[in-house]
């Protein structure tokens, strides 16, 4: 697992490409996975790519990967705002974690979208760069492994 990056996607991201394309774009979750795999393979790493609408499942995945990973890329989606169990699980990992948001959460109309709980536990945040943010996150984690 030392050469693996865990890419986790939260609620409703299974509908990426059809859900609010004016906000999230037209790329699908399969497109995001392909992007992440290409970036990882170029660096000699592998991707474990997952999506869930269930908070308990996200927590279990983080706990399973809490040690031995090259890193975690997480788009917590709606867990960002009420997912304290996800936050607690992220605090237990021993690898770098990059939080990704497809839209710029700071420019969204709803106040509650502007503050992610996860920032208290992650190494860095990429927000507002579309699905390209995932590729940048994987590239960053790969760069940490090269030293």
Model confidence pLDDT, tens digit, residues 48-79: 999 999 999 999 999 999 999 999 999 999 99
For the domain that residue 34 is a member of, what is the CATH number? 3.40.50.9100
* Confidence check: pLDDT of 114 > 80: no
* Confidence check: pLDDT of 112 > 70: no
Q: Which residues are catalytic?
A: 24, 101
* Confidence check: pLDDT of 120 > 80: yes
List b or e across 62-97, with b for residues whose CB sees 16 or more CB atoms inside 10 angstroms.
beebbeebbbbbbbbbebbbebeebbebbeebebbb
Residue 113: per-residue pLDDT: 67
100, 118 Cβ separation under 8 angstroms: no
Which residue range(s) make up the domain with 20?
4-146
Copy the structure tokens of residue 54: 């269930």
Q: What is the mean pLDDT of the chain?
A: 93
* Confidence check: pLDDT of 99 > 80: yes
Q: pTM, whole model, 2 decimals?
A: 0.94
Residues 6+ apart with CB under 8 A from 132: 35
Q: Count how many domains the chain has.
A: 1
Q: For residue 37, count CB atoms less than 10 angstroms from its CB and return exposed for 0-12, middle for 13-18, buried for 19 or more.
A: middle
Q: Tell which phi-psi region holds residue 127, choosing left (phi > 0), alpha (psi between -120 and 50) or beta.
A: beta
Residue 11: per-residue pLDDT: 97
């Amino acid at each position: 697992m030392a050469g693996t990056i865990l890419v986790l996607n939260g609620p409703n991201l299974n509908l990426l490409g059809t859900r609010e394309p004016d906000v999230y774009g037209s790329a699908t979750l399969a497109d995001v996975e392909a992007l992440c795999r290409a970036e990882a393979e170029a660096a000699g790493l592998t991707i474990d790519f997952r999506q869930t609408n269930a908070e308990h499942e996200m927590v279990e995945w983080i706990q399973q990967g809490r040690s031995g990973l090259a890193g975690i890329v997480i788009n917590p989606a709606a867990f960002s705002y009420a997912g304290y169990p996800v936050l607690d699980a992220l605090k237990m990992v021993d690898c770098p974690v990059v939080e990704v948001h497809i839209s710029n959460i700071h420019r969204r109309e709803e106040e509650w979208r502007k503050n992610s709980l996860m920032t208290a536990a992650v190494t860095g945040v990429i927000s507002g760069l579309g699905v390209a943010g995932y590729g940048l996150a994987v590239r960053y984690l790969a760069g940490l492994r090269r030293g």
